[in-house]
Amino acid sequence: MKTALTRRYIEAIPDTLLQEPLNFIFADHYRQRVVCTLLEELADAEALDAGKAEEVVDFLANDMARHVRDEEEDLFPLLRRRCASEDEIEAILDQLAGEHTADERLGRDLVVALGALSAAGTAPRIRPKVRQKMLDFARRQRRHLMVENNIVLPIARTRLGGADLARLARRMAVRRGVVMAVAEGG
């Protein structure tokens, strides 16, 4: 049985923040920005920092996948149902979903590449294609997060009601194996 990785660089989000699912998503976006910074540091380092690489791999393989499911399976469908036509959210959500698909592939590639580099003790700068993938991923993620933080989340705060947020919170908690009581809102 694999034990949980103790993280030094990427903070955990308190389970209690799941009571406020949009704030939890926002906090998770911050952690994704930390991962971007770690990827850039790893890409340019003279020697591989195995601890950083392990945290990034663990985050990409686990946390990032859960986060994308939060958005794709719950947040985006809620927004599609609740938003008014003047919100013009459909095209933005379609764009973000496409980016999720592309980033998921690139993230899997990075998990494999960083695992191989860690096993060999090789710095990413020795492998230019891997280094470029790391930098591309970080750049793409930052742009993606900017759209989600500045467009999607503010619209969600306006359009989603208490019951929507309670359902979102429950589903996110289940995805993380967290048991919590969430009152139905109005």
Q: Give residue-wise pLDDT tens across range 42-96.
A: 999 999 999 999 999 999 999 999 999 999 999 999 999 999 999 999 999 999 9
- As a whole number of angstroms, the distance between CA 159 and CA 124 comes to 44
pTM of full prediction above 0.75: yes
Average pLDDT of the chain?
Answer: 92
pLDDT at 156 over 60: yes
- As a whole number of angstroms, the distance between CA 30 and CA 25 comes to 9
The pLDDT tens digits of the residues spanning 89-147 come to 999 999 999 999 999 999 999 999 999 999 998 888 888 999 999 999 999 999 999 99
Predicted local distance difference test score (pLDDT) of residue 175: 95
| Res. 27 pLDDT band, cuts 50 70 90 | very high
| Res. 33 pLDDT band, cuts 50 70 90 | very high
- As a whole number of angstroms, the distance between CA 24 and CA 173 comes to 11
The three-class DSSP label of residue 180 is coil
pLDDT at 6 over 90: no
Predicted local distance difference test score (pLDDT) of residue 126: 83
pLDDT at 4 over 70: no
Both tokens of 26, joined, read 């926002």
Does CATH number 1.20.120.520 belong to domain 17-175? yes
Q: Domain map of the chain by residue range?
A: 17-175
Predicted local distance difference test score (pLDDT) of residue 180: 77
